[in-house]
Structure 1
């Protein structure tokens, strides 16, 4: 499954929501220091609910340490990218790299990636950016959808309507 990398995330509730997303999709989450919160932050725990133990979360001291763990193709995401994320045929071990909420990836962080691998999520003209947790969710779910939601319970085939009886609730 995919790897999600958050470089210097600042907001505990965003990261908590992403932990919950990763637990529900099977994506592995990598947090690169510095973090704008502690891992025992109350907001982080509240946003992630009881999914923390169900998610694979690794904290790395720096981007170099993180690169040695996640080995798939690496894609960065920014509002200034020229290539749309939906133009990429994602592979199961791809790595999705996102920067901090306020500033995104630094110039130094971006220099480690090919410009062609910087992807944008389409938005209406004139808007600046999406919330980090929402952006990660859009990318992970689109990539997972393209692989038939492998591992999901109650996965529907195209055109099939699901009811609550189709899920293990």
Structure 2
């Protein structure tokens, strides 16, 4: 299972997702451009020494990323979807895609996704933190596919 971040803007969020990937055994794809320099100290500070335990792939853009996914399903997490990840059937080779913090993904990217899911939350709030959303999504996907680390 992989986590993909579309044009992430906050270094600390990327660091937290890298740490999540390291702990849970999920590779992380970073779709550029990013809103910060890759060598930003905040990435390493948040990821700590876990960054050496996660497979990271950087892609020049969405098309370059799409060329790497083969037959895997691209599952977009978006506030615009209706289906919950808790009623969705994940597969072990799914790629969980998250949009940029300020704007999500453009319509063309959303249209290119195989599935669209929305993490249920109270209607009074707009969205969760990117890293928190990724943790909830990955945890459910791994639970369903019985691929949780020991």
TM-score (norm 1): 0.84
Distance 1:36 1:138 in 2: 24
How far is 1:111 from its partner? 2.4
Distance 1:105 1:62 in 2: 12
Please give the secondary structure, in 2, of the residue aligned with 1:50: helix
Distance 1:60 1:149 in 2: 26
Distance 2:49 2:20 in 1: 12
The Cα RMSD (Å) is 1.2
Please give the secondary structure, in 2, of the residue aligned with 1:4: strand
Query: Match for residue 88 of structure 1?
Result: 88
Structure in which a larger fraction of residues adopt helix:
2
How far is 1:40 from its partner? 1.1
Decide whether the 8 Å contact of 2:92 with 2:147 is kept in 1: no
Segments of 4+ in structure 1 off by > 6 A? none
Equivalent residue runs for 1:29-44 within 5 Å: 29-44=28-43
| Gap regions ≥5 residues in structure 1 | 154-169
Query: Match for residue 110 of structure 2?
Result: 110
- Pair member with larger Rg: 1
How far is 1:110 from its partner? 1.5
Query: Match for residue 15 of structure 2?
Result: 16
Per chain length, whose mean CA-contact separation is higher, i.e. which structure has more relative contact order (CA < 8 Å, sep 6+)? Answer: 2
Distance 1:5 1:108 in 2: 16
TM-score (norm 2): 0.94
Distance 2:91 2:145 in 1: 8
Cα-to-partner distance string for 1:23-71 (whole Å, 9 max, x where unaligned): 0111110000110112211111100000111000010001111112223
| Gap regions ≥5 residues in structure 2 | none
